[in-house]
Amino acid sequence: MTVNKIVSKTTTSKVTTPRAAVNKPAIDADVANTTVSTPEADAASSVEGFDLNSHDYYINRELSHLQFNYRVLRQTVDENHPLLNRMMFCCIFSSNMDEFFEIRVAGLKHQIKYGRETVGPDGLTPDQVLEKIDTITHAFVDEQYRVLNEELIPALQRENIRFLRRREWSDKQTEWVANYFEKEILPVINPIGLDPSHPFPRLVNKSLNFIVELEGKDAFGRETGMGIVPAPRSLPRMVRLPDEICDGGDNLVFLSSIIHNHTDSLFPGMVVKGCYQFRLTRNADLVLAHDDMEDLASALRGELLSRRFGDAVRLEVADNCPEELVSFLLKEFGLSERELYRVRGPVNLTRLMNLGAVINRNDLVYPSFTPGIPKTLNSKQDIFEAVRQKDILLLHPYQSFTPVVDLLRQAAKDPSVAAIKQTLYRSGADSEIVVALVDAARRGKEVTVVIELRARFDEAENLELASRLQEAGVVVVYGVVGYKTHAKMILIVRREEGGFKRYVHLGTGNYHAGNARLYTDYSFMTCDEALTKDVHKIFQQLTGMGKALKIKKLYHAPFTLHSKMMELIEREATNAEEGKTAYILIKVNSLTDPKIMKALLKASQAGVKIELVIRGICCLRPGIPGVSENITVRSVIGRFLEHTRVYYFENDGNPEVYGASADWMVRNLVHRVETCFPIEDKKLSLRVKNELETYLKDNCQSWLLQSDGGYTQIQPEEGEERICVQQTLLETLSAV
């Protein structure tokens, strides 16, 4: 189905607001229509007693996930982004879709294969969801390659950045490419002719490959007619040609073009009738059997070896590949036409993410900036003294992540520090955080690190990290089997006058300095006695064994966080019913928990105004008369990845503000170790509210979720001031 056909079948009402005009992007409205009919009419007739379990009030999780990916894709045509950043969004979309197939589609197929189908609040079965995914993803991929070929590549050419096709190579360029192939590719490439003694090779997940149509007999008299050429994964997917053989600008050739041009030399004496790119996506989810597992690290190492060769879930091929070869590949991988994606260009766009580094065009990317540092830290080298004076709140990337690193560096060198405890989910084995922890251990301090090995696609790096820390004398534990440790905590125990004093850092993100320049997250540092004691108790639970300890200020999953959120939502509903002020403002990455959603619907019916800023998946339909008419949901997509988790509850004029590591998903609230911390300092809590309200004013990067499940992008009206929340925060908090 073409994009235009999808659009023509879609009708959605436009939203009007006092400050913004709304633009409905073309392709996405049909994506989340997960029910046969729109629920407004039915809902309006059941205001008094509606069924909270009705499928009409919820959106399918996977289809909402696809909506987020499409919002990312739309950034490729937004000329407010610099050109290379638009290209980056095209690559990010590919990366997101890869993971969607590797995990989400693979999971649905697994349910069907083993007869374990589950149905969510939206009522769709796995088969129904896969059917919708088929239509949507094919349209999205077609749109992606249309944008790449008709908008991005021509725009790059206007900037003298050219991807040269083989027919465009000059004689000098052809000679240079031939030498490059001879020296850099031929020694590591491994062509495979298919015959009874050379069966179809087991291809690695997401690797670039070529299927080659051959004619003639080889030296042994074999006449198979077909070969496979896996592209070496160690080689760059783009090669920049030397300036001296070009006419100016940046001139690049794809690795696929170089291999394609020299396929004859890989099968000497044979006639190459055709050579076509293809790429296979496999199930990449890890399944660990907890019952018979003795060592998590050893079990994980074993599973990582099998991830590269999981069940096939998607086949991408060049759009000019002959039908008989496509049919051969589909049969070989056990896939149907539904899982086939014909593409007009490179099949591995994710590998083009380093384009900016290859060509070094700073004029075509966002300008660099210097993250800000609060005055309380700027004027004091002693971070412990600064934290003793007042709680410190940082908003990355607008404010620097360096104080968090400096906290650990100072703790490592401070002779008064006796112990350091930290959770690590994603950090990198060579990060400054890890260097500080290693230094502390070597100086004789008691250092304990809880590493979550099962951070998806970072498992191998986390295993390496664990080994490095253990070699330095750090006590490393892997949390609790069956519950991912997703909490972001640092605890430092320091000997001071009067005894030991605790200092903590709590975050909404992770301890990866690189991500802290790209992800929006809060960092909170305090020495509050009750709060730091709570963190100490959570570490005790993670490293030891015993009953859940009583905790005063923190709320943590899987024990108290979910019930506390329910309690706070219900309190706002009660306040509204009693005529008191009631308001909920939440910023998370995803909302899928059925109980939380039902509580929000009840609060909406009670008259509570609920504003949700949800970057990705949202399974709750807002704006249904009599049901969710008091709920608005917006998603912000921009230069930085929105990642903060913040909860604001009005509480009849005595607002409560929380930062958290947890999204409002079942996996976070029930199956993970998460923390939620109060921000009690009135200046800091007011600051958080003001920053959240800036998101509600954004009229450039915000998308409003409609009751039909589609999103509309808010745009400023003619003559209206443009308000971009990320730019506003950048100007307010960074040192620029």
- Report the half-sphere exposure of 321 (CA within 13 A, side-chain side): 28
Contacts 24+ apart (CB under 8 A), 1-10: 1/135, 1/138, 1/139, 2/139, 2/142, 3/27, 3/139, 3/142, 3/143, 3/146, 6/30, 6/135, 6/139, 10/710
H or E element: which one contains 669? helix 666-670
Distance CA 106, CA 64 (A): 17
Q: What is the bridge-based pairing of β-strands 238-240 and 250-254?
A: antiparallel
Cβ atoms of residues 621 and 123 within 8 Å = no
Going by DSSP bridges, is the β-strand pair 656-660/646-649 parallel, antiparallel, or unpaired? Answer: antiparallel
Structure tokens given for 676 = 């939620």
What's the rounded Cα separation, in Å, for the pair 554 and 548?
13
Q: How many other CB atoms sit within 10 Å of the CB of residue 373? A: 18
Distance CA 609, CA 658 (A): 18
Burial status of residue 581 (CB atoms within 10 A of its CB: 0-12, 13-18, 19 or more): middle
Q: Which two tokens stand for residue 647?
A: 């909860």
Quick one: tokens of 379?
Answer: 């004027």
Closest CA to 565 of 652, 484, 663, 489: 663
Contact 104, 111 (CB under 8 A): no
> How would DSSP label each residue in 251-301?
EEEEHHHHHHHTHHHHSTTSEEEEEEEEEEEE-------STT-S-HHHHHH
Burial label for 662, CB within 10 Å (0-12, 13-18, 19+), is: buried
Catalytic-residue membership of 486: yes
Closest-CA residue to 478 (of 622, 652, 298)? 298
Q: Are 278 and 318 in contact (CB under 8 A)?
A: yes
Say which amino acid occupies 325: L
Q: Concatenate the DSSP letters of all residues of 571-633 into one string.
A: HHHHHHHTT---EEEEEES-B--HHHHHHHHHHHHTT-EEEEEESS-B-BPP--TTTTTTEEE
Residue owning tokens 């960074």: 734
- Position 461, amino acid: E
Identify the CA nearest to 593 among candidates 575, 570, 577, 617.
617
* 411 CB neighbour count, 10 Å cutoff: 26
Distance (Å, rounded) from C-alpha 219 to C-alpha 212? Answer: 18
User: Residue with structure tokens 């930085």?
Assistant: 640
Q: What sign does the dihedral 82-88-89-90 (CA atoms) show? A: positive
Candidates 486, 505, 512, 643; catalytic one:
486
Tell me the three-class secondary structure of 368-399, residue by residue: CCCCECCHHHHCCCCHHHHHHHCCEEEEECCE
- Just list the catalytic residues: 486
